[in-house]
Chains A and B, each alone.
Chain A
Amino acid sequence: MEQFTASIIAKYNYWIYVTLMMIGFYAMIGKRNLVKKLIGMNIFQTAIILMFVSSGVKIGAKIPILDKHKALEHGIGVAGVVNPLPHVLMLTAIVVSVSVTGVALAILLRIYRKYGTLDEDEILEKLGK
């Protein structure tokens, strides 16, 4: 039991991401309103972005912006600088998330123009007649 709690405390960050992901996932599959589904998808993306950024953390390291002349003369210790690769990946992932949100909102507006509602059940009813 003590080993279990110790392992939870060592990896507490994953619990945060999984909880955030569960909130977003529940909103995506449990809610009947399309805008709420979209907001759930955004929360899901935020959880994934947080997880990736945290995978680059090193305890006691600095941000990946170096002193140019010092770096050119003496070189850089790998353990002293945070891993820059997840930051780059997530920078592009945020832009994709913005684009996806924009296109999804456009499609939602188009659905509202045609059916006059954003509720899933009412749209299905109007489609079925």
Chain B
Amino acid sequence: MKLLQEQTQKLKIGESLIIQTASRLLIPFIQLFGLYVIVHGHYSPGGGFQGGVILGASFVLLALAFDQKFSMQYMSEKTSGLLANTGALIFVGTGTLCAIFGGLFLHYSALDVLIPLGPIEWRSFGIFIVEVGVGLAVMSNMAILFWVLGSNGEMDEGL
């Protein structure tokens, strides 16, 4: 705790010490909860969109409590663009793989040729892969939207 306080005092940016320390403590748990919402989407309310938005909100909180440059140390502009591309590619790539291996587009049972899990289990697992892709794309796009809009396009200190 003392170390956290010293670290935040040294930075001299953003909001007051209480807000900075509290958000530093909270953000790992927010991100863990976002991952849980994505992964547990089969059995509880949740899924790619909701979990991605929670993950993106953690970066928004970091940018609001400290400053935008500080939050971009953790996910730079290039990385976020790359993650958005990866998410969209995972989704489209899964559909295309299904088409290549003899099914229809996005018909996950066709992937049974690759790893024999059974066609019905593959439909469940294919939904999971697709949700991870959606979560990545939504997370990075939320962060991009906030960063670009908040700093008027300059990607520096921001709000």
Which residues of A come within 8 Å of B, CB atoms?
63, 65, 91, 94-95, 98, 102, 105-106, 109, 113
Per CB-CB distance, the 6 closest pairs between chain A and chain B, nearest first, are: A102-B145, A105-B149, A95-B49, A109-B152, A91-B49, A106-B149
Most buried by B among A63, A94, A95, A105: A95
Q: Is the CB of A102 within 8 A of B149?
A: yes
Query: Within 8 Å CB of B152, what residues of A?
Result: 109, 113
Query: Within 8 Å CB of B153, what residues of A?
Result: 109
B116 at the interface (CB under 8 A from A): no
Identify the closest chain A residue to B138 (Cβ): A95
Interface of chain A: mostly helix, strand, loop or mixed: helix
Query: Within 8 Å CB of B43, what residues of A?
Result: 65
Query: Within 8 Å CB of A109, what residues of B?
Result: 149, 152-153
Q: Is the CB of A106 within 8 A of B148?
A: yes
Which residues of B come within 8 Å of A, CB atoms?
43-45, 47, 49, 138, 142, 145, 148-149, 152-153
Kindly state the separation between the CA atoms of A105 and B153 in the bound complex, as whole angstroms.
12
20 A-B pairs within 8 Å (CB atoms) are namely: A63-B45, A65-B43, A65-B44, A65-B45, A91-B47, A91-B49, A94-B49, A95-B49, A95-B138, A98-B142, A98-B145, A102-B145, A102-B149, A105-B149, A106-B148, A106-B149, A109-B149, A109-B152, A109-B153, A113-B152
* Known pairs A65-B44, A95-B138 / 15 extra A-B pairs, C-beta < 8 Å: A63-B45, A65-B43, A65-B45, A94-B49, A95-B49, A98-B142, A102-B145, A102-B149, A105-B149, A106-B148, A106-B149, A109-B149, A109-B152, A109-B153, A113-B152
Identify the closest chain A residue to B148 (Cβ): A106
Identify the closest chain B residue to A68 (Cβ): B43
Identify the closest chain A residue to B134 (Cβ): A95
Most buried by B among A91, A102, A106: A102
Kindly state the separation between the CA atoms of A109 and B47 in the bound complex, as whole angstroms.
32
Query: Within 8 Å CB of A65, what residues of B?
Result: 43-45
Kindly state the separation between the CA atoms of A98 and B142 in the bound complex, as whole angstroms.
9
Query: Within 8 Å CB of A94, what residues of B?
Result: 49
CB distance from A44 to the nearest CB of B (A): 21
Kindly state the separation between the CA atoms of A65 and B152 in the bound complex, as whole angstroms.
42
CB distance from B26 to the nearest CB of A (A): 23
CB distance from A84 to the nearest CB of B (A): 12
Identify the closest chain B residue to A94 (Cβ): B49
CB distance from B106 to the nearest CB of A (A): 15
Query: Within 8 Å CB of A91, what residues of B?
Result: 47, 49
Query: Within 8 Å CB of A106, what residues of B?
Result: 148-149
